[in-house]
Every structure is written in structure tokens, then in C-alpha cells.
Amino acid sequence: MAHLHPYPLGRLASRILSELSTGGPVLDFPRAKLVRGAGGRDWSTTLHGTKVATPLGPAAGPHTQLAQNIVLAYLGGCRIFELKTVQLMDELVIPRPCIDVRTVGFNVEWSQELKLEQSLEEYVKASMLLEVLAASGQLGLDPGFERFAFDLSVGYDLKGIQHERVQAFLHGMLDATKVIDRLRPELPKPYRDLPFRKCISDTLTLSTFHGCPPGEIESITRYLMEDVGLHCVVKLNPTLNGPTEARRLFNEVLGYRYRIPDAAFANDPTFEQAVDLVTRLEATSKKTGRGLGVKFSNTLVVENEGDFLPASEKSQYLSGQPLHVLAMNLVARFRGVFGDRLPISFSAGIERHNFPDAVALGLVPVTVCTDLLRPGGYARASTYFQELGTRMDAVGAKTLDEFVLRAYAPFTPSEVEGGAVSAARLHNTKHYVEGLLKNPRYAYAANSKPPNKVGTKLVLFDCLTCDKCVPVCPNHANFTYALPATTLPVVKLTRTADGTWKKTTAPPLVIAKKHQLATYADFCNECGNCDVFCPEDGGPYVLKPRFFGTEASWASGGDGLLLLKDGTTRGRFGGREFSLLGTRFSGTGFELDVVEPENPEGRVDDGVEIDLTYFHILRWLRDSVSSMPVNYVNA
């Protein structure tokens, strides 16, 4: 199984700053898609008292587990980051591939894939990087648009959360002084003495996973508020709709064919139980002075007989368009009980068209996962703000509160301070949710056709070079590089008894495309997302060159290449290992100096066939990637 290997803070900061200074893409994020401000509007909001520049952010998932992920989301205008859930069991074996968003979203992964200690450092690194970006002035942000907040997520039971390792993580996020001081020397000198925030986060969204009893949810939340001192948001499941209503909405109204099993409802709270536990937690919130909110919603457990995720994983977690309807239905029901007195966080099928609607309902934060996994990746976030700006301008709104008042309801600007905003949120909720059931955007018919495949097989070099695999990777593992166009005969050599070479040939290796694609293996967790959007069959993360960043990650196995500081290039192809230093080419049973490719000199064991194709591949990849101005492999 693939393992993630975080990148050093100093090298990541140097790369980002270097790319910013050139005026081109930053971590392959298009410069034209940078969101620098609200264009004369005010998109700011608050999260448990902390002011942030926008209400948008990535949900706790694949976009918030590595530092560069969070930087990429920040470039797109995201300012509230729901960090990926951590738990005591941090050596998970997750089936691969684990994500399929060809139509709606399906996944079989849940929590952070790093060790707890790595997660702490990665989140601190991310916070420091965002502050470095703002301090550099190179993003050209409007005043105040740099404000951001991190929101923690832990699971999945009280015993695990009380463990000393999880406690160390939580307290490290509340006061990261030691980690910050250890990391400072890695940064470029102008940024080492910045007054980095010590409290990375004092808010937490509790992820209790599917099947957690209401009593356990309440006990965990009380503990986190009373003993740890965190503002808490309780993430609730779409099963709160109940079996009858959930299946009616999902299968009958929206027309989806996937089955919601009885087991999905077995131990989850009912809506009534959720109301009771939230009511009791309100008292805890008042007693402790900690904020309380709820989140709609977690994913939905369904049975999917798809053809991409492992066949053993019949039960999968659904997200995307249909979940939007189920979760918004719960927002309406919840507000029917609690009004607008509790903040609601929302994450379910958010995309550019409905992001302004979620804002008009006063939901904070509005977070997204599935849509950012589609072509364009993090840059899709910029279109959310274009849509929000257009909608605000259409009703003459300059602030989010004014937009809430004017989006659907007949409120006037003078009523902003008079309690009308809360009333408008409730009005807007009813108006929006009633219209969802009639909106074909969320039905099966509109979300049943997967991306087209052209029927060709992906190979090591040359493909359609559509480059879709680069932005759809949430970890920024895929990248482009250039190779000179060439046609090379494929030659295999065997030493004969008299010391000469016996030569056989195969079809030539042709390099013709404008550029090539590769994967940085340390960031690839083999989620499969680049595969589903690649027009060719095979998967870029499987068949394109994979570069390892360190000897430790190389030792974890798998085909790929490792460029060492002494100039050695190591390669592994089909499990066979080769090495190249200058023209010195070696592998199992041979070590040769390939000055003349068809007449090399050196040692070769009896019966060993030497495929010089790998000599050329290693040489080409070494020279091409090493000559790139900035990349992870040679940074």
C-alpha cells in the first residue's frame, strides 16, 4: 500500500516563493485563478468568534491532510479549513483505489493517513505557510483577505480521544509553540521571525463516524468542551432523515439506484435523539463558554456495485449531488426546531451553482470535497466566488448579511441590524429546500454518465497530454516535464562465449508529445482519482514514471525512480532494479559503462540479458526532471 511522506517545510516554502516571484503557476495552480479579494464586496464571516475572509473551505478529507493541499485551497480563496480527521488508530490499511467521483462521489477512506505526530506537524506547517504567503505580499491580497481559520476533526470514540497521543495532538494544536520553534530555522531568513500564531485551532468538528450511539456523541462533545476547552461542532449523518424519508428522497424523488442498507440506520441517532442531545449540549456550551454548532452532513452509507473501487468494498460512502438534497432537508428540519440560534456548518454536494445559496442560508463554513476532485481541482473554487459575486451584485449586496437579506426575501438594507438577518436565514432555508426536490441538477439522470474513455492504453511515455491528472490530484502528486522528441531503437544484449554481444531488437521507443506526465510518489496515496478522469485506460499513478523523494520512501517499494544527491539515479521497473551514475549502468548480474550503447564495457554474469531501454529511460528522466527550474524531486 502507498504511504504518504510529508515534504520539508523549508523546501516547500522555497518552492512556493520562487514560483510566486516568476509570475507563473504556483504549485501548478493557474495564476489567473488566484482569488485575491472580494472585488469591493465583503465576504468575511466569523467562526466561533474568529474573523475569516470567506466562508468557503475544503471539507475534512483528501484536501486537508498535507500542507501543500491547504496552500492550494488558500490560493483558490478558501479560508476555513476542516482538517482531516485524526484518530488513535493511525496505521490504517485502506483499500486502493479509494475514491470514485466519475458521477456522484463514492469513497472507502475516512481518516488521516499520517501518524498523529506527523499530522500535528503537517497542520502547523500549513498554518505557517499561509502566514508566510501573506507576509510575502506576492499574492497581492486585499487588506484582510489573508484571514483564515483551521477547524480540527477527531474521532471516533471517547476512549481513543482520551488517549495520551490524541491528547498530545489536541494540546499541540492549541499551543504549537514547540513545533513552530523547531520548524522556524527551515524557512527562508526573511520569514523566520514572523509572529506565527501559536494556537493553530481551538475549534473542532466531531466526526463520530457511522453507527456511533447518541450517548457516545454527547459524552465526547462534553469532554472536548469541558476538559479540553474546544468550541465544538457535532457532525450529523444523513440517516437522521430516517429510513423511510431517506429512501424516499434518494431512491424515489431523485431516482438513484443504490441501496441504503438497514445497517446504515442501526446505531445512528434518530432525528429526535439528535434534537435531545443538542439541547443538552447547549447547556454545556453556556456553562463552559465554548461555542456549539452542528454540521450537515457526513457521507451516506450505500451499497454500490460499481466497477472501479475494490470489489470487496460493497458498502461505500456516498457524497456529491444527492447528498446535497438529503443534507439540506436536515438543515430545514433542524432549523424548524432550533431556529437560527445554533450555527450550522455545511458540506454536501457544494459546487459553484449552489455555493451562493448555502451562503444565503447563513451556513458557516460551507465546505467542499467532491467537486474539488473533478477536472480543474482547487482552481474550481475561484468560480464559486465569481458566482457569489454575480449573485450579490444582482441584488445590490455588498456584505454577506445584505446578501442573506436580499437573496430571496423582501428585506431592506436598513433591517440588517434589527434581527432581520436571522429571520431571512430561516425564510431562505424554507425557500431553497422546497425548490431542491424539483431541481434536475441533483437527480440520477443528470449524474449517471461517467467521463468518456477513448479506448487506448496509457503507457510510460506519450499520452493524450490533456493534463487532467495534474489538478485532480488532491495531494499535488502529478506533474509535467519535457523530453526531447526522439525515436530510439530498443536493443537487448547478451554476452556470448567469445566475449562479444548478441543483439536483439524490439519496436522502437518513440517520444513525440510536447511534454510528459509523472507522479511524485511521496504524495501519491493511490486514491485513483487521476485514473477516473484520464481519457486513457490504466491510470497515471500506475503507469506513468513515479519519482520518490527520499531513500526512506523508495524503500517502501513500488516501481519508480530515485535521484540521489551524488548523481546516482535508481530505477525500479516491474520489480527489477537498475542504477545509473553518469554512463555507469548496473542491475542484477551486470555493471557496465555504456559509452557506446551497442558495445558497453564491464561485468555481466552468464545468461544475463541487458535491456538498454532502461539505460535510456533512466538517462532521459534524470536529465529532464533535474533540469526543471523547480520541482519536488530536485528541490
Instruction: Give me the pLDDT at residue 209, please.
Output: 67
Which residues touch 497 (CB under 8 Å, ≥6 apart)?
A: none
Instruction: Give me the pLDDT at residue 395, please.
Output: 95
Phi, psi of 502 (to 5 degrees): -95, 130
Hey, what's the cell of 471?
489538478
Helix (H, G, I), strand (E, B) or coil at 478: strand
- Report the C-alpha gap between 527 and 519 in whole angstroms: 13
Q: Rounded to the nearest 5 degrees, what angle is found at the Cα of 630, between the Cα atoms of 628 and 635?
A: 110
Look up residue 49 and give its DSSP letter.
Answer: T
- Report the C-alpha gap between 487 and 287 in whole angstroms: 74
Residue type, position 586, single letter: S
Q: What is the pTM of this model?
A: 0.96
Helix (H, G, I), strand (E, B) or coil at 564: coil
114 vs 6, 328, 630, CA distance in Å?
A: 9, 32, 26
Question: DSSP readout, 215-260?
Answer: HHHHHHHHHIIIII--EEEEEE-GGGG-HHHHHIIIIIIS----B-
Instruction: Give me the pLDDT at residue 208, please.
Output: 76
Look up residue 66 and give its DSSP letter.
Answer: S
Compute mean pLDDT per 10 residues along the chain, 635 residues long, and list them: 89 96 95 97 97 98 97 98 94 89 93 94 98 97 98 93 97 98 97 98 88 90 98 96 98 97 92 97 98 96 93 94 98 98 97 98 98 98 98 96 89 62 93 95 97 96 96 97 89 91 91 95 96 97 96 91 95 96 96 90 93 93 90 73
Q: Per-residue pLDDT tens for 387-441? A: 999 999 999 999 999 999 999 966 655 555 567 899 999 999 999 999 999 999 9
- Report the C-alpha gap between 42 and 145 in whole angstroms: 9
Burial label for 158, CB within 10 Å (0-12, 13-18, 19+), is middle
Phi, psi of 318 (to 5 degrees): -90, 140
User: Mind spelling out the 3-state secondary structure of 85-137?
Assistant: CECCCCCCCCCCCCEECCCCEEECCCCCCCCHHHHHHHHHHHHHHHHHHHHHC
Instruction: Give me the pLDDT at residue 212, please.
Output: 84
Which string of b and e fits 188-214 if b means at least 16 CB within 10 Å? eeebeeeebbeebbbbbbbbbbbbbeb
Pairing status of strand 546-548 against strand 478-481: unpaired
- Report the C-alpha gap between 456 and 435 in whole angstroms: 43
- Report the C-alpha gap between 490 and 482 in whole angstroms: 21
Burial label for 615, CB within 10 Å (0-12, 13-18, 19+), is buried
Nearest to 632 by CA among 22, 3, 28, 107: 28
Are 54 and 78 in contact by the 8 Å Cβ rule? The answer is yes
Nearest to 592 by CA among 575, 614, 573: 614
259 vs 99, 251, 310, CA distance in Å?
A: 19, 8, 18
CB atoms within 10 A of CB 85: 24
Instruction: Give me the pLDDT at residue 3, please.
Output: 86
- Report the C-alpha gap between 152 and 289 in whole angstroms: 18
- Residue reference for cell 456522484: 104
For the domain covering 41-136+145-442, report its CATH number: 3.20.20.70
Nearest to 548 by CA among 515, 520, 570, 576: 520
Query: 510: which strand partners?
Result: 487
Are 632 and 549 in contact by the 8 Å Cβ rule? The answer is yes
Q: Per-residue pLDDT tens for 549-606? A: 999 999 988 999 999 999 999 999 999 999 999 999 999 999 999 998 888 999 999 9
- Report the C-alpha gap between 6 and 65 in whole angstroms: 9
Burial label for 535, CB within 10 Å (0-12, 13-18, 19+), is middle
Instruction: Give me the pLDDT at residue 469, please.
Output: 98
Half-sphere exposure of 571 (CA within 13 A, CB side): 22
Hey, what's the cell of 193?
521571525
- Report the C-alpha gap between 386 and 380 in whole angstroms: 10
Residue type, position 487, single letter: T
Q: Rounded to the nearest 5 degrees, what angle is found at the Cα of 453, between the Cα atoms of 452 and 457?
A: 170
CA dihedral defined by 85, 86, 92, 98, rounded to 10 degrees? 20
Could you state, in order of their start, the residue ranges of all structural domains in the chain? 41-136+145-442, 469-626
**Positive or negative, the Cα torsion across 132, 137, 139, 142?**
positive
What's the start-to-end Cα distance of the chain, in Å?
Answer: 26
Look up residue 155 and give its DSSP letter.
Answer: -
Instruction: Give me the pLDDT at residue 348, please.
Output: 98
- Report the C-alpha gap between 488 and 481 in whole angstroms: 19
